[in-house]
Amino acid sequence: MTAEAVAFWAVAGVLVAASLGVVLTPNLFHAVLYLAAALVATGVVFLLLAAPFLFGVQLLLYAGGVVTILVFAIMLTERLAGERITQTSRWIANGAVLAAAMLVGVLGFLGRAPQAPPAPAAPDRTVDVARALTGPFALPLELLGALLVAALMGAAYFARPED
């Protein structure tokens, strides 16, 4: 196996194990920690895919930002110590059947699809991304800024102190 294959299978194992931890652990706080591990593993997958800029964004926004506000939300809605933090799952069989059916469907589609041609050497695409963001995608980028401002104001409105 090449070094890339070894790295891929190692990261894939970590990612799948951390994802299973997110959905199976009874402790909600531990689930968030597993999610942080899964997000970092996803970032390493981005590195393998020659997208270091996406890796940085992933670490800054997801592993840094999202995990932090998730922890804050848990502290605001649950008592950190004691049994209130534990959560149970319901309809496990139904959920497993549905998720497995979706997985089989997608993997079957993948199996029937023709193999992609071998990829050429992977250049760093960060400069191309910057050109695209300021060129053809300039308007969606501005709309995204408006969306973020609206989401920030909406979140502040929902979570405002009671008066």
Partner 1 sequence: MGLHAYLGLAAVVFAVGLFGVLTRRNAIGILLGIELMLNAVNINLAAFTRFHGDPTGLVFALFTIAITVAEVGVGLAIVIAIFRVRRTVEADHLTLLRG
CA 106 to chain CA centroid, Å, is: 19
Tell me how far, at minimum, the Cβ of 78 lies from partner 1, in Å: 8
112 in contact with partner 1 (CB under 8 A):
no
Kindly give, in sequence order, each residue whose CB lies less than 8 Å from that of residue 45, ignoring residues fewer than 6 positions away.
8, 11, 12, 15
10 in contact with partner 1 (CB under 8 A):
no
Tell me how far, at minimum, the Cβ of 91 lies from partner 1, in Å: 6
Q: Among 14, 3, 66, which Cα is nearest to 41's?
A: 14
| HSE (side-chain half, CA atoms, 13 Å) at 121 | 1
Chosen residue from 82, 83, 91, 163 binding partner 1 by CB under 8 A: 91
Chosen residue from 81, 82, 83, 88 binding partner 1 by CB under 8 A: 88
Q: What is the 8-class DSSP label of residue 81?
A: S
Chosen residue from 10, 80, 99, 138 binding partner 1 by CB under 8 A: 99
Q: Among 96, 103, 107, 98, which Cα is nearest to 23's?
A: 96
142 in contact with partner 1 (CB under 8 A):
no
Match 């469907």 to its residue by tokens: 105
Window 27-66: residues binding partner 1 (CB under 8 A)? 28, 31-32, 35, 38-39, 42, 45-46, 48-51, 53-54, 57-58, 61-62, 65-66
Tell me how far, at minimum, the Cβ of 107 lies from partner 1, in Å: 6
CA 99 to chain CA centroid, Å, is: 18
